[in-house]
Structure 1
């Protein structure tokens, strides 16, 4: 059994697993609503849009998380405003804003001398995180997790029937803003772990797997968090033996789980039809 526990006997591997488990909670919960609302591109857009905020925060001497959060939330709000005030569809607006902000970030990074490592920002550095990264991820996980569990019924009504949500007196616009803020905060928590490129996988795949495996939202939320957590542990453990980076290995495990869930759902559906 030593082969099973050996990777986690090293402190840097334990820290990688811990920060992965921490971000699994908000990522799993939010992924359900992103999948149900068709907001998958929103997570992608926010994760790419934080790059210029990170660079500008570094230049200004501010904590990188402040610049990342401001850029991510600002870009999401700008995309929403453009979509509401034009005939252009949401996915088109998100594509333009995402590519524009990411391009701006790369230009700023190359134009401004800095000690930032672009590969760590893009792909994360799970094996090099420190205590501050763990504390930040834990804090964001606790806050976002508590908010989602507190408002999950309202968020569900907005996802399934936005018209009924407005008629019922819910402030749907504020719920949307709250969702965007929580997505931005979760992406910030992922900045030092999986990076901004691979963050979108954790914001989509757990909810997609849970959607295929469940029929009730409460079960979907629990399964999505479990999928993200299990994928993190398996990914970090596998990365040790494969001598690979943990973040992309976690994404591969998530992809494998989605394929298995898809096949399982198809087989179950055929059996029900045949029966």
Structure 2
């Protein structure tokens, strides 16, 4: 099971004009670092996976005063097969997203059993006048995407705007640097509820920020599709609890034949405007 889908549970800014509540939501967002302990949820026999253990670390910094937002994500997993053979996978993704949603940069590297097997970086520029977005990778021909594609921070901010407005479904194309081009996405958003006690009390929290136990969270099920195919099964799905300050907890990462559970164990809040 290749861990190529680095989940962009990130949050923030682009669609202010499309979503009137975006500015208010953006003001409530909390820059933070979150650590999730990963384990095997379920496994279909066809996957031949007997166990998974690992960790995912996600960090967001920046703001409008910084000119944009940075995200650093790392997923390290140790996967054991049915024949007791094992493989270690280490995927790292760093991105920068302009505060106005115009530009996006990304670098992704992947190691298997300590050996570098892939690295790539790219630059994405939005041309609003021509209603298109272009990806440029070194040594490759540029790839054009639709002009309404969202980057991770903008996508999550727009999703939160939909949740605040009481909408149950949010759909938008997303490019996060993990795939060759954009992915259509569908999100199903539940009614905000108090998070389970074991969820909000599991993490060691540091820095100044809101207590998760004082907030309600939206249950979200986010589906990623391959290309323009919205009729068949999604390529990947993620379930999580989304808090109003942008923190996510109780992750369920569903690769169809394998499901991973992500438990929030550490949460550090950064000061606003920390670039």
Whether TM-score is above 0.5 comes out as no
**TM-score normalized with structure 2 length:** 0.22
Asked which structure has the greater RCO (Cα within 8 Å, sep 6+), the reply is 1
Higher-strand-fraction structure: 2
Q: Which has the larger radius of gyration?
A: 1
Q: TM-score, normalised by structure 1?
A: 0.22
